[in-house]
Structure 1
């Protein structure tokens, strides 16, 4: 009887290994590519901020990255994107806990009411330049 139990355990282990191996063999993850570029604000590189590529049709996931010294680079899914750019700066004031108060200074037309777009393609370079203006 003991031999039967060992064979049953080995068969179960082999079945589990086949199942795990089969699950990891292919991916349903969407294709992503590197996107990069520059962001200026009133003609100067945006010192720091964030950039988000949202699907223009509302389907699929968003991709995001940081902006440093006017440059960004991250992976994005393919397709038409709405681009949202935001940044904040210190106001020179402090809150009740003596923490610095910051303000968002990028106009809504570049974030919550964005007019910026990008078409992320599988082939070729996906380099973008966004020139933001305060007015």
Structure 2
């Protein structure tokens, strides 16, 4: 009888406490990103809380991203920003007349993603703790 009570106690404790890591109420989000009809090969996605309370992000690889709950954000409304550096960003060019290592010694990175999906993003989503958060982005 004692072992049966112990078993029931262990099972109930596992159910109540959950089996996953404590995320402090943070939630994750996953999704896909397409650009001009194709999966975005690489870039970054960022979720900024509308109320300024937090932000998170993840790299985009082969059109997919994943933010685990452990590094996620609290449920709420978010502005979503997508960025991708232009092809010339991989090899910064020294600026003539400046010493190597100077902050201005490299040409600025060209942003490939249009401003309405980046700096001036109009993309928004609501992340909840009630279900898996999936947010797909299609940038024309």
TM category (shorter chain) comes to: 0.5 to 0.7
SS in structure 2 of the partner of residue 114 of structure 1: coil
**Judging changes above 3 Å, is the alpha-carbon distance between structure 1 residues 76 and 94 closer, same or farther for their aligned structure 2 residues?**
closer
Q: How many residues align?
A: 103
Residues 48, 67 of structure 1: 8 Å contact kept: yes
**Judging changes above 3 Å, is the alpha-carbon distance between structure 1 residues 90 and 101 closer, same or farther for their aligned structure 2 residues?**
farther
Where structure 2 has 5 or more consecutive residues not aligned to the other structure, the ranges are 1-22, 95-99, 101-105
**Regions of 4+ moved over 6 Å:** none
* Structure 1 segment 1-135 matched on structure 2, within 5 A: 31-58=25-52, 60-74=53-67, 75-91=72-88, 95-96=93-94, 102-133=109-140
Query: Quick one: higher RCO (CA 8 Å, sep 6+), 1 or 2?
Result: 2
| Structure number with bigger Rg | 1
Offset, 1:111: 1.1
Offset, 1:104: 1.1
**Judging changes above 3 Å, is the alpha-carbon distance between structure 1 residues 94 and 67 closer, same or farther for their aligned structure 2 residues?**
closer
SS in structure 1 of the partner of residue 130 of structure 2: coil
Residues 63, 76 of structure 1: 8 Å contact kept: yes
The two structures have a TM-score, normalised by structure 1, of 0.68
The two structures have a TM-score, normalised by structure 2, of 0.65
Please provide the CA RMSD for this pair. 2.3
Offset, 1:77: 2.2
